Amino acid sequence: MKLLVTGAAGMLGRDVANAATVAGHELTALGHAELDIGDPEAVEAAVREARPDAVLNCAAWTDVDGAQTRSREAFAVNGPGAGTVARAAADAGAWVVHVSTDYVFSGEKRSPYLESDATGPRSEYGRGKLAGELAVAQAAPRAHTIVRSSWLFGTGGPCFPATILRAGSARDQLTVVEDQVGCPTFTGHLAPALLALAQDPIEGIVHVAGGGQCSWYDFSREIVSLAGLGCEVVPGATADLGRPAPRPAYSVLGTERNGTPRLPDWHDGLQDFLAAGVPS
């Protein structure tokens, strides 16, 4: 299968490209330095040259707090930029797999969010990603899969477990919020699922995230425990952080779509992350 991966220099994009190579697909992998998805002419040219069967769009503005203060720049990438990739894919007769986020939800539910649940993003990042979903669906109405995932971590870039490991090695105590609950998702597990959806597509929106749920506090305690660190982890509150962007308090993802890939539990993802080596 001929695949084009955008955002291939990012944490998720690297794992998708690696998984595609291992699976024997014919791959074109383009990072931001090679392709700015905000440039429609460049995107169209890249897709024409690659002639892919499917395009996996991993390009995104992922700095949640940065999106709050630089909303125009972030929105251009996560909203219209996503639509540009989908339009070029559709024009080339390729399926598009687009990666979205749990942040499109308000976080007011207390049971897992399903694909049919109403959205209600609270941050500029979430609003931009929701705009991207709508742009993808409009640009490729019969040839798209939108994959919502959550709390991504991996070996291909900075991530929460790596931050906790560094801080826990240098400090005796860490305070981590316990009032945000979600599904930590190892990109090494998500990447093959995205490839599966490129090969055997499900049209529309699907939720694919690590199994189980936890708070950032719970996640941190497991990281510290598995790493054998002596650091104490104590619970904190989101309100005390003073972060620019609001976060959903509860963003656990479930699925009601038949055939949706199921990922291993987040504990397994963390163990695989640690076994693979922590990024510097």
DSSP 56: E
pLDDT of residue 102 exceeding 90, the answer is yes
pLDDT greater than 90 at residue 17: yes
User: Mean per-residue pLDDT for 41-54?
Assistant: 98
* Sign of the torsion formed by the C-alpha atoms of 178, 179, 181 and 186: negative
pLDDT higher than 70, residue 105: yes
| Helical ranges in 140-265 per DSSP H | 160-170, 187-199, 216-227
Which helix H or strand E contains 4, and what residues bound it? strand 2-6
* Dihedral (Cα; 223, 224, 225, 227), 10-degree rounding: 80
What per-residue confidence (pLDDT) applies to 150? 98
Confidence at residue 22, expressed as pLDDT on a 0 to 100 scale: 97
Residue 182: is its pLDDT beyond 70? yes
Query: Which domains can be identified in the chain, with CATH numbers?
Result: 2-154+185-210+251-264 (3.40.50.720)
Beta strands in 212-260 (DSSP E): 214-215, 232-236
Nearest to 1 by CA among 176, 19, 12: 19
Cβ neighbours of residue 177 closer than 8 Å, sequence gap 6 or more: 215, 216, 217, 235, 236, 237, 238, 241
What does the pLDDT average to over 195-204?
98
**CA-wise closest residue to 171 among 224, 242, 239:** 224
State yes or no: pLDDT of 278 exceeds 80.
Answer: no
* pLDDT computed for residue 277 by the predictor: 79
- By annotation, the residues acting in catalysis are 125
Q: How far is the C-alpha of 1 from the C-alpha of 271, rounded, in Å? A: 31
**In the predicted model, is pLDDT for residue 279 greater than 60?**
no
Decide if pLDDT at 48 tops 90.
yes
Task: Note the residue count of the chain.
Answer: 280
pLDDT digits (tens, 9 = 90+) for 240-276: 999 999 999 999 999 999 999 999 999 999 999 999 9
The CA-based angle 275-3-266, given to 5 degrees, is: 30
Tokens of 76: 């251009």
Q: What is the mean pLDDT of the chain?
A: 97
Residue 177 parent element (H or E): strand 173-177
Q: What is the pLDDT of residues 82-96, one digit of tens each?
A: 999 999 999 999 999
What integer pLDDT is reported at residue 31 of this predicted model?
Answer: 97
Entry pTM: 0.97
Instruction: Note the pLDDT of residue 136.
Output: 98
- pLDDT above 80: residue 280: no
- Give the amino acid at 96: V
